[in-house]
């Protein structure tokens, strides 16, 4: 009989000796731990399922109020799902330690000391979490909003307790720690405004310009595709400014959130159409050159030199 056979016999003999204790542990503590893990998994799955189901119902939102509620719900539920998952598994871990007859008092005390030490080195992380909580609770921005945060402008794709992710118009994804957010410019909160500025020639009659703008505003409200996005009668701002080569006028249009850009494009089309009908000129930059008191004589000399200049040979 070699040493390998002896070792195997000792191994199986040890298992046979310890099996009653292992069996008793599995039938008591093991079952308890298994039930705890199953409950934690089921709760995590159930919360995720209910949140996804609630979010699917918001996809049919059409009115501005319903869209705002859907954005708010999507943002809050996303944060709650993460928070609920953390709470469930922390409670499950503490429960399993108790089932293993491990005293959690010294562990919690040790974690407290570690937490204090880590806290000094992770102040920015704590700052991010606190800022994220205030961003969500105060409803400063929601998933789906179009925002500008510093140099980042685009659609909010993710809003968690730690970071905010914004997808730029060019497809780039900006990831911003919540603690670094100092100011949020939300372009789609409750309502928006399209401000359409246009310049007209200085010789234009301002009354005719206002009349043409009024017709353009009526055209926008009557538009079958975009008229429903206009919330109020557009405001005509004339005269908005005296520019270098034009008198600037403006049309202010209050719109549904995120519709200001579509309305702005349609407004420019209707303004161009109505200005063309009224013969109103949209000028381009012009420069008037003044030579001085001898302007006529200099122009005459210049014209004579051009006429007397030899004609370049052809071919």
What is the CB neighbour count within 10 angstroms for residue 167? 16
Percentage of the chain modeled with pLDDT above 70:
77
For residues 253 and 223, the answer to whether their CB atoms sit within 8 Å is no
Task: Note the pLDDT of residue 33.
Answer: 85
Structure tokens at 22: 């292992």
Distance CA 248, CA 239 (A): 6
pLDDT for residue 245: 84
Closest by alpha carbon to 229, among 208, 254, 256? Answer: 256
Alpha-carbon distance values, 9 to 2, 16, 18 (Å):
11, 10, 14
- Phi and psi at 163, nearest 5°, equal -130, 160
What pLDDT, in 10s, does the model give residues 245-277? 889 999 999 999 889 999 999 999 999 999 999
pLDDT at 67 over 90: no
Question: How does residue 51 score in pLDDT terms, banded at 50, 70 and 90?
Answer: confident
| Model confidence pLDDT, tens digit, residues 6-33 | 566 666 667 767 667 677 777 777 788 8
CA nearest to 155, candidates 51, 52, 254, 74: 74
Mean pLDDT over residues 191-215, rounded?
Answer: 92
pLDDT score at 207: 92
Question: What is the model's pLDDT at position 47?
Answer: 86
pTM: 0.61
pLDDT, residue 278, reads 92
pLDDT tens per residue across span 231-245:
999 999 888 889 888
- pLDDT category of residue 284 using cuts at 50, 70 and 90: confident
Q: Which among 107, 170, 172, 160 has a CA at the least distance from the CA of 136?
A: 160
Sequence-distant (≥ 6) Cβ neighbours of residue 248 within 8 angstroms: 197, 198, 199, 239, 240, 241, 242
- pLDDT tens-digit readout, 165-183: 999 989 999 999 999 999 9
Q: Which two tokens stand for residue 296?
A: 């006529």
For the chain, list the domains and their CATH numbers: 192-278 (3.30.70.100)
Range of weakest confidence among 36-50, 103-117, 157-171, 187-201: 103-117
What is the b/e burial string over 5-33, where b = at least 16 CB atoms within 10 angstroms of the residue's CB? eeeeeeeeeeeeeeeeeeeeeeeeeeeeb
């Amino acid at each position: 009989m070699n040493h390998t056979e002896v070792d195997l016999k000792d191994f199986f003999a040890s298992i046979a000796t310890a099996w009653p204790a292992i069996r008793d542990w599995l039938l008591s503590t093991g079952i308890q731990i298994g039930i705890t893990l199953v409950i934690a998994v089921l709760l995590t799955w159930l919360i995720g399922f209910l949140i996804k189901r609630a979010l699917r119902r918001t996809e049919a939102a059409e009115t501005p109020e319903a869209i705002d509620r859907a954005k708010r719900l999507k943002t809050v539920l996303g944060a709650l799902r993460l928070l609920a998952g953390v709470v469930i598994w922390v409670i499950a871990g503490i429960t399993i330690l108790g089932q293993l007859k491990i005293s959690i008092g010294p562990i919690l005390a040790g974690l407290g000391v570690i937490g204090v030490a880590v806290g000094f080195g992770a102040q920015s992380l704590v700052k991010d979490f606190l800022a994220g909580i205030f961003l969500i609770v105060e409803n400063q921005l929601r998933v789906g909003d179009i925002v500008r945060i510093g140099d980042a402008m685009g659609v909010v794709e993710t809003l968690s307790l730690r970071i905010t992710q914004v997808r730029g118009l060019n497809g780039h994804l900006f990831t911003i720690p919540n603690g670094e957010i100092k100011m949020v410019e939300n372009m789609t909160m409750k309502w928006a405004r399209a401000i359409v500025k246009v310049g007209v020639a200085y010789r234009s009659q301002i009354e005719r310009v206002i009349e043409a703008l009024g017709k353009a505003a009526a055209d926008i409200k009557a538009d079958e595709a975009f008229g429903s996005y206009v919330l109020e009668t557009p405001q005509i701002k004339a005269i908005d400014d005296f520019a270098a080569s034009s008198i600037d006028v403006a049309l202010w249009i209050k719109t549904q959130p995120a519709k200001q850009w579509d309305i702005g494009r349609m407004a420019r089309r209707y303004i161009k159409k109505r200005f063309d009908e009224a013969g109103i000129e949209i000028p381009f930059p012009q420069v008037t050159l003044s030579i001085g008191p001898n302007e006529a004589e200099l122009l005459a000399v210049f014209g004579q030199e051009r006429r007397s200049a030899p004609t370049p040979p052809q071919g």
